[in-house]
């Protein structure tokens, strides 16, 4: 039986101990079976062996950052659409992102370690080193290749994006800031020093031609970058100068630090007490109560200034899997104080995780007993200004849920 060869699919290098120019670097090779080998640069023995991830994936792009002897990260893009991470000492990598479209090319932004990925659906993706998406942008043409364009003399790093139309756009973040073009579709783009020129872009096209693009020494991309910065951010903040009042206040804070801290703690305790009282009041009003066993929540809202009110009830089904069936809502009020348009409302089927709203009209009745401001029992008067709501099932008289609505006083127009 023939044995399938473990073919090398991609490779790169990583500095071993220092980042100096011309320092020793270790080769990294990835194979079709998903194995990644770190080799000794002197005798090419295997220093470390790991797998791309816990699933069968074939790597075809590999990028790295860091030092082999200290700490490093290796980012691998696979043909199955996975972006995997390998770190020092790991025997198996983990998948950070799985894309639905085919990956065309990938670059790693130094410093921030942002991962820029180009896919076959004309999209540029940007991810953090932990796999969180920062942004994505659509391009006009199909992307064929990517290249990192580090410009040390202006302390910036651009990304060159080659399109099938022959154009090459330079991106800073998600914004295109410049472009160039070649006669054919670019297949590979490289950027770096060539001879005495420090910034040269070499473009190899699909037809086999090679093009050289030399960056002007006077090129300044910061001028165009200012256009994408908001105007408010480009202006310095109008910070006032240190006045005599500011200096006196600073001296007072240093001299009375203990008293100021105690005053702050007292205000904080009062704030917490007010929040606790508001919570207790909210629970006492029962404006939004629920039944955890039945997974039902009821809330009420009163509209109007009086004597005519509109009471709106919202019955919410908290259960995500079961619908509410066979419920009815019953209103109970003192007829000497309130007259309702409907006292019983039949609730139809309420689907899971949805709510059903219902309303009833309420008219307040005035007589000598309710309008007496000199009543001897204020609690009895307060009890008459309520409407009780009961949620029951049609087959059972025991309420599933009960609530009390405190009606507001009528605002008389003078």
| Total tally of structural domains belonging to the chain | 3
- The CATH number that applies at residue 318 is 2.60.40.10
Query: How does pLDDT run across 256-300, given as a tens digit for each residue?
Result: 989 999 999 999 999 999 999 888 776 655 445 556 677 888 888
**Whole-number pLDDT of residue 226:** 45
Same domain, 82 and 14: yes
**Whole-number pLDDT of residue 12:** 92
Which CA distances in Å does 279 have to 225, 268, 284? 51, 17, 9
Same domain, 18 and 126: no
Q: Let me know the angle formed at the C-alpha of 106 by 150 and 214, rounded to the nearest 5 degrees.
A: 35
Q: Is residue 277 part of a domain?
A: no
Same domain, 140 and 89: no
Query: How does pLDDT run across 192-242, given as a tens digit for each residue?
Result: 888 888 889 999 999 889 999 988 877 777 644 444 444 444 556 777 777
Same domain, 360 and 399: yes
| Band (106; pLDDT cuts 50, 70, 90) | very high
Task: Report the length, in residues, of the chain.
Answer: 414
CA pseudo-torsion sign 282, 287, 288, 292: positive
d(CA 146, CA 163): 9
- CB 312, CB 300: distance < 8 Å: yes
Same domain, 34 and 136: no
**Whole-number pLDDT of residue 368:** 58
Domain end position, chosen among 73, 98, 123: 98
Q: Is residue 139 part of a domain?
A: yes
Q: Is residue 414 part of a domain?
A: no
Q: Is residue 239 part of a domain?
A: no
Residue 144: phi and psi, rounded to 5, are -110, -30
Domain containing residue 329? 288-369+380-406
Same domain, 145 and 34: no
Query: How does pLDDT run across 63-73, given as a tens digit for each residue?
Result: 998 899 888 99
Q: Is residue 149 part of a domain?
A: yes
| Band (306; pLDDT cuts 50, 70, 90) | confident
Same domain, 109 and 87: no
pLDDT of 379 over the 70 cut: no
- The CATH number that applies at residue 221 is 2.130.10.10
pLDDT of 38 over the 90 cut: yes
Same domain, 5 and 89: yes
Q: pTM (2 decimals)?
A: 0.52
Q: Is residue 246 part of a domain?
A: no
**Whole-number pLDDT of residue 273:** 93
| pLDDT top residue among 154 and 108 | 108
What average pLDDT does range 312-327 have in this prediction? 88
Same domain, 107 and 91: no
Q: Is residue 269 part of a domain?
A: no
Same domain, 119 and 215: yes
Same domain, 48 and 87: yes
What average pLDDT does range 47-56 have in this prediction? 88
- CB 75, CB 106: distance < 8 Å: yes
Q: Is residue 170 part of a domain?
A: yes
Which of 199, 128, 222, 206 minimizes the C-alpha distance to 162?
Answer: 206
Domain end position, chosen among 211, 229, 247: 229
Same domain, 90 and 191: no
Q: HSE of 306 in the Cβ direction (CA atoms, 13 Å)?
A: 14
Domain end position, chosen among 43, 76, 98: 98
pLDDT of 165 over the 70 cut: yes
With pLDDT > 70 as the criterion, what percentage of the chain qualifies?
87
pLDDT of 361 over the 90 cut: yes
């Amino acid at each position: 039986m023939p044995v399938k060869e473990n073919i090398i699919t991609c490779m790169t290098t990583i500095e071993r101990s220092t980042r100096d120019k011309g320092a020793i670097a270790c080769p990294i090779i990835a194979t079709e079976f998903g194995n990644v080998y770190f080799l000794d640069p002197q005798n090419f023995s295997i220093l470390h062996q790991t797998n791309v991830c816990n699933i069968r994936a074939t790597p075809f792009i590999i990028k790295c950052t860091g030092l082999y002897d200290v700490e490093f990260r290796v980012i691998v893009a696979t043909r199955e659409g996975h972006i995997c991470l390998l770190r020092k000492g790991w025997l198996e990598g983990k998948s950070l992102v799985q894309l639905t479209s085919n990956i065309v090319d990938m670059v790693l932004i130094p410093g921030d370690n942002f991962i820029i990925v180009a896919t076959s659906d004309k999209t540029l993706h940007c991810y953090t080193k932990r796999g969180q998406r920062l942004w994505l942008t659509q391009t006009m043409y199909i992307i064929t290749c990517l290249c990192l364009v580090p410009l040390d003399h202006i302390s910036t790093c651009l990304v060159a994006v080659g399109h099938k139309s022959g154009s090459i756009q330079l991106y800073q973040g998600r914004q295109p800031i410049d472009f160039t073009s070649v006669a054919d579709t670019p297949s590979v783009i490289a950027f770096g020093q060539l001879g005495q020129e420090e910034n040269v872009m070499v473009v190899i096209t699909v037809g086999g031609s090679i093009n050289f693009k030399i960056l002007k020494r006077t090129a300044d991309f910061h001028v165009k970058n200012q256009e994408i910065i908001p105007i408010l951010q480009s202006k310095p903040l109008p910070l006032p100068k240190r006045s005599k009042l500011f200096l006196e206040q600073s001296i007072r804070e240093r001299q009375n630090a203990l008293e100021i801290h105690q005053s702050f703690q007292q205000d904080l305790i009062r704030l917490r007490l007010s929040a606790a009282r508001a919570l207790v009041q909210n629970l006492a009003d029962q404006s939004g109560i629920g039944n955890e066993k039945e997974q039902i929540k009821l809330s009420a809202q009163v509209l109007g200034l009086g004597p005519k009110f509109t009471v709106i009830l919202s019955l919410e089904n908290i259960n995500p899997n079961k619908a509410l069936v066979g419920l009815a809502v019953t209103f109970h009020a003192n007829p000497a104080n309130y007259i309702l348009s409907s006292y019983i409302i039949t609730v139809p089927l309420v689907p899971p995780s949805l709510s059903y709203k219902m309303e009833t009209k309420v008219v307040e009745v005035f007589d000598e007993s309710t309008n007496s401001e000199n009543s001897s029992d204020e609690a009895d008067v307060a009890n008459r200004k309520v409407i009780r709501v009961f949620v029951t099932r049609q087959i059972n008289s025991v309420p599933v849920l009960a609530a009390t609505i405190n009606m507001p006083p009528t605002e008389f127009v003078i």
